[in-house]
C-alpha cells in the first residue's frame, strides 16, 4: 500500500521523504488542480468517485475507488485546489440492510 501511495504523490509532483516509522497520513499531502488529480486517479488507477461529503468550511471530501480495490481520498478547497489526503488498498463497498447496523 505504501508504494502505491507514494507513486500517487510523486505523480502529482509532491516530494515525500519518509522516516522508517512515518505513515502516509503523517506526510505532507500532495495538492494541485482538482481536474488533474481526478484525471491521474482515473488514468493510472482506474479509480472513480464512490462517495462525497461536505466538510468545514466549504471543503468537499471525495472517495475514489477501483474495482481492483485501490482507493484515494481527495479534499477540495473552495478555491478549486485539491489535496490527496489518503490512499490505500482493499476497498469494499458496504451495503446497509434496512434495520441492521453496519
Q: Does residue 99 register a pLDDT over 70?
A: yes
Q: Does residue 9 register a pLDDT over 70?
A: no
Q: Does residue 94 register a pLDDT over 60?
A: yes
Domain boundaries defined on the chain: 2-18+30-88
The pLDDT value given to residue 23: 42
Q: What is the pLDDT of residues 32-91, one digit of tens each?
A: 999 999 999 999 999 999 999 999 889 999 999 999 999 999 999 999 999 999 999 999
| Crossing angle of helices 2-11 and 34-45, rounded to 10° | 130
Beta bridge partners of 32: 82
5 closest CA partner among 23, 32, 31:
23
Say what the pTM is.
0.69
Q: Does residue 95 register a pLDDT over 90?
A: no
Helix (H) or strand (E) run with residue 31 in it: strand 30-33
The C-alpha cell 489535496 sits at 83
pLDDT bracket for residue 12 (50, 70, 90): low
Q: What is the pLDDT of residues 27-48, one digit of tens each?
A: 455 999 999 999 999 999 999 9
Query: Are residues 51 and 33 in contact, defined by beta-carbon separation less than 8 angstroms?
Result: no
Amino acid at each position: 500500500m505504501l508504494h502505491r501511495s507514494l507513486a500517487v504523490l510523486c505523480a502529482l509532483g509532491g516530494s515525500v521523504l519518509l522516516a522508517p516509522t512515518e505513515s502516509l497520513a503523517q506526510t505532507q499531502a500532495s495538492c494541485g488542480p482538482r481536474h488533474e488529480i481526478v484525471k491521474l486517479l482515473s488514468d493510472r488507477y482506474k479509480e472513480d468517485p464512490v462517495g462525497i461529503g461536505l466538510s468545514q468550511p466549504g471543503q468537499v471530501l471525495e472517495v475514489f475507488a477501483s474495482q481492483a480495490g485501490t482507493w484515494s481520498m481527495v479534499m477540495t478547497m473552495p478555491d478549486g485546489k485539491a489535496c490527496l489526503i489518503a490512499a490505500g488498498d482493499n476497498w469494499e463497498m458496504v451495503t446497509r440492510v434496512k434495520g441492521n447496523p453496519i
